[in-house]
Amino acid sequence: MGGSLPVEVDVRLVGATNADLLDLTARGLFKRDLLDRLSFEVLFLPPLREREGDILLLADHFARRMAFELGREETPVFSREAITMIEQYAWPGNVRELKNVVERAVYRSDSARITAIDFNPFNSPYKMPLDGAPLREITLTTQEQPDLTSLCLKDAVKSLELQMLKMALEASKYNQKKTAEKLGLTYDQLRGLLKKHAKALQDPSV
């Protein structure tokens, strides 16, 4: 800093982000010249939910390390039920969330066999949608289904979309990955749908 002589360096810069840099650049929120300098090579790391073979390997690694930190001699082993829960969960928080969930499970277990998996340490008796507001469990009856022919096209599509979302959530016991599969959506598309209908899912009068 403040020097006048050139200094030779041999470094490689690696940047990471989950933001859409092209969109930010177009909106003037990210410098175009910096984007050009970073774009020599661009790699896309798939989210954990798309790397199914990695999930149990990472879970086992985090469990062993947590047991070691706790001074336990036995190696943690996940029960079949716990493995199923870990494999079916969508892991929106990726590796960081997996690490927290596994470490919490090992810490709470009284034995080396891990049977209980808690994905939400702030769990309440109410289901929680993406925006954090309570989501009531809904049994859709024929009396609750509106007459779509009495609605304009836009409202009819919205109503049908909401009905199918409610039924898929209930049938999947509010497992978002299974719900997305039932509706033929990607996980990200389902998240968008839950946000779109969050108010209607929380308030039965809407």
pLDDT digits (tens, 9 = 90+) for 122-149: 755 555 554 444 444 444 443 445 566 6
Strand, helix or coil for residue 45? coil
Tokens 């409610």 belong to 166
Decide: 168 and 182 in contact? Cβ < 8 Å: yes
Q: Does the model's pTM come out above 0.75?
A: no
Residue 102 phi, psi (nearest 5): -65, -45
Decide: 116 and 73 in contact? Cβ < 8 Å: no
Q: Round to whole Å and give the CA distance between 160 and 167.
A: 11
56-66 average pLDDT score:
95
> Ranked by mean pLDDT, which of 10-19, 65-74, 136-145 comes out on top?
65-74
Q: Could you tell me the domains of the chain? A: 48-114 (1.10.8.60), 142-202 (1.10.10)
pLDDT digits (tens, 9 = 90+) for 91-127: 888 999 999 999 999 999 988 999 888 888 775 555 5
Decide: 136 and 127 in contact? Cβ < 8 Å: yes
